[in-house]
């Protein structure tokens, strides 16, 4: 595509043929990353989505080289193209959660699928958002299946003193639920980031 025909999101140029999805959680995660990521941090984004907006935003802002994975090869491809278009160095590859991830990171962040299966299908989310599959939103029966798996598998990929950053809409998954899942996975809520008129919440988690 003609690179001049694309959109600009978070001061990033996005190819014209890339359909961008971002929600209130994406907006709040951007705020959280700006506050929590240091220039010396090794950062991994779980589920980069189309164009890896958050990873590339924080790469540009903090002068880091982020890593990021996604279940979808198409989303990884679009993210690689977007990074190149913006002259940003980043490492993106296909992985089902941590299945293809090696090493440990100072910060791992995730805007997980947290809509419960029944609600998402009633809302016809995949069709409404032109998604290739339900995987981008489907969090399972209670909306927490992916979050639980992510937290349970994350510990060996987080350095001592590192942090998980997880964003969800409170309507679907409340604070008490996040606190319970975190505790069972060996984490505690260190900090909660909110935004005015924003229904999402971002949790900064540390190891117990």
Q: pLDDT per residue over 40-99, tens digit each?
A: 999 999 999 999 999 999 999 999 999 999 999 999 999 999 999 999 999 999 999 999
Residue 2 has pLDDT above 60, yes or no: no
Check: CB of residue 25 under 8 Å from CB of residue 200: yes
User: What is the Cα 118 distance to its own chain's centre?
Assistant: 22
Q: How far from 103 is each of 39, 42, 59, 89, CA to CA, in Å?
A: 19, 10, 19, 19
Q: pLDDT per residue over 107-158, tens digit each?
A: 999 999 999 999 999 989 888 888 878 888 889 989 999 999 999 999 999 9
Mean pLDDT along residues 22-27: 91
Helix 145-154 vs helix 175-184: angle between axes, to the nearest 10 degrees? Answer: 40
Residue 174 has pLDDT above 80, yes or no: yes
Check: CB of residue 70 under 8 Å from CB of residue 47: yes
Residue 106 has pLDDT above 80, yes or no: yes
Residue 3 has pLDDT above 60, yes or no: no
Q: How far from 76 is each of 70, 131, 161, CA to CA, in Å?
A: 6, 14, 29
Residue 37 has pLDDT above 90, yes or no: yes
The C-alpha atoms of residue 27 and residue 114 are separated, in whole angstroms, by: 16
Give the SS3 label for residue 100. coil
């Amino acid at each position: 595509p003609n690179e001049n025909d694309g959109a600009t999101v978070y001061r990033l140029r996005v190819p014209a043929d890339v359909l961008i999805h971002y929600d209130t959680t994406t907006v709040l995660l951007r705020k959280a990353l700006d506050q929590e990521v240091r220039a010396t941090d090794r950062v991994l984004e779980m589920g980069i989505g189309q164009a890896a907006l958050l990873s590339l935003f924080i790469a540009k802002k903090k002068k880091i080289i982020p890593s990021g994975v996604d279940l979808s090869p198409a989303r990884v491809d679009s993210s690689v193209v977007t990074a190149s278009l913006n002259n940003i160095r980043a490492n993106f590859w296909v992985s089902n959660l941590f299945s293809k991830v090696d090493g440990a990171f100072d910060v791992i962040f995730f805007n997980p699928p947290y809509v419960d299966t029944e609600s998402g299908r009633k809302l016809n989310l995949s069709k409404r958002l032109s998604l290739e599959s339900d995987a981008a939103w489907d969090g399972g029966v209670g909306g927490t299946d992916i979050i639980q798996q992510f937290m349970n598998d994350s510990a060996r990929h987080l350095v001592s003193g590192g942090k998980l950053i997880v964003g969800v809409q409170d309507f679907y998954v409340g604070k008490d639920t996040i606190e319970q899942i975190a505790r069972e996975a060996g984490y505690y809520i260190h900090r909660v980031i909110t935004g005015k008129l924003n229904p999402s919440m971002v949790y900064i988690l540390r190891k117990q």
